[in-house]
Amino acid sequence: MLSDRVRMDAYYNAIFENKHHFRGKKAVLDVGTGSGILAIWSAQAGARKVYAVEATKMSEHARELVKANNLQDIVEVIEGSVEDVTLPEKVDVIISEWMGYFLLRESMFDSVISARDRWLKPTGVMYPSHARMWMAPIRSGLVDQKKNDYEGSMNDWLCFVNETKNDYGVDMSVLTKPFSEEQRKYYLQTSLWNNLHPHQVVGTAAIIKEIDCLTATVDDICEVRSNFSSSILIENTRLCGFGGWFDVHFRGRSDNPAQQEIELTTAPSLDSSTHWGQQVFLLHPPFRTSEGDDVNVSFLMNRSKENHRLMEVDLGCEIRQSSGKLLPLFKNKFYIE
């Protein structure tokens, strides 16, 4: 992540082009400080005090980095969960790089909300201040690869069943259905991390969720529900699925805005990919589409009951061709793991 120049430049520019949020008598809380880089920049931008909270032993490395940069009198590294730590004062700024794949995987924003509600002054600022989730129709050769992988796995299983019965006298075929369901989930229903080329986006992108980091609650992000439409922009192409990405903005707040608004985007790009990439939901089978076709999508994302850091998605897709013909509704369940 420290080598992700898009990520690093966005936070660096957000801090140093908006020093008025940090300098002087300002106190800052860095949630999930990791290496401590955001805490160090906050101190270099003029903060009086920075509390850098890290739940893991990475805090030991952060403490060494702070000391090596002669900021130990300003930056205090605290090892522990931000839900449990106690600070001696309220803070003027909460800064955090909390974003997971497709924004909400990992559920780290919960901790940022907890920190905000406990420690941010009524006039305080969130860094970042806003976030958005996007989706768009895509084409991808991965749809064929994953189908071939699934079929290859099933062929291997059937060979195994036959060999086991012929060589050892045990019929394993009763397990074919659960094995198929397991392999289908792994190959066909688990969303993929991918760096999409912009040319793979074949339709208009839509915002499916907007978050104000100053007011959002955990309930607001536990479920993401959206009904959106997209128009196909390319003649005679395959709709292979949907790509999802996010952006975050550093805007300050309405009564204390940023002097220079900064955006960090994970959208498909020719020259500025990020470690987040995009989340890809593949359709099996893909659809043949043409320019002017309308794609109507119902999207519902919830946290997995088994692991709240992971996500489950119900996606419905209906295509109305430019001729007026309506293709059959497609529904599937996906897993963000």
Provide the pLDDT for residue 278. Answer: 96
Provide the pLDDT for residue 3. Answer: 87
Count H helices and E strands in the chain, helices first: 7, 15
Contact 297/157 with Cβ under 8 angstroms?
no
Provide the pLDDT for residue 147. Answer: 96
Helices (H), the chain: 5-16, 37-44, 58-68, 109-119, 142-168, 176-184, 218-222
- Residue 99 main-chain phi, psi, to 5 deg: -75, 130
The Cα 10–Cα 318 span in angstroms is 37
- Residue boundaries of the structural domains of the chain: 1-97, 130-337
**Half-sphere CA count of 229, side-chain side, radius 13 A:** 7
Beta strands, E only, 154-293: 192-194, 206-212, 223-231, 237-253, 256-265, 278-289
The Cα 84–Cα 27 span in angstroms is 19
- What is the third-level CATH fold of 1-97? Rossmann fold (3.40.50)
For 64-89, the pLDDT digits (tens) are 999 999 999 999 999 999 999 999 99
131: amino acid identity, one letter: A
Q: Which of 17, 76, 79, 106 is catalytic?
A: 106
The pTM score is 0.92
Buried-state track 250-270, b at ≥16 Cβ within 10 A, e below 16: bbbbeeeebeeebebbbbbbe
* Res 328 pLDDT > 90: no
CATH of 130-337, one of 3.40.50.300, 2.60.40.2310, 1.10.10.410, 2.70.160.11: 2.70.160.11
Active site (annotated) includes residue 97: yes
For 175-233, the pLDDT digits (tens) are 999 999 999 999 999 999 999 999 999 999 999 999 999 999 999 999 999 999 999 99
Provide the pLDDT for residue 327. Answer: 86
* Res 1 pLDDT > 80: no
Q: Which residue has the tokens 């195994």?
A: 160
For 273-296, the pLDDT digits (tens) are 899 999 999 999 999 999 999 999
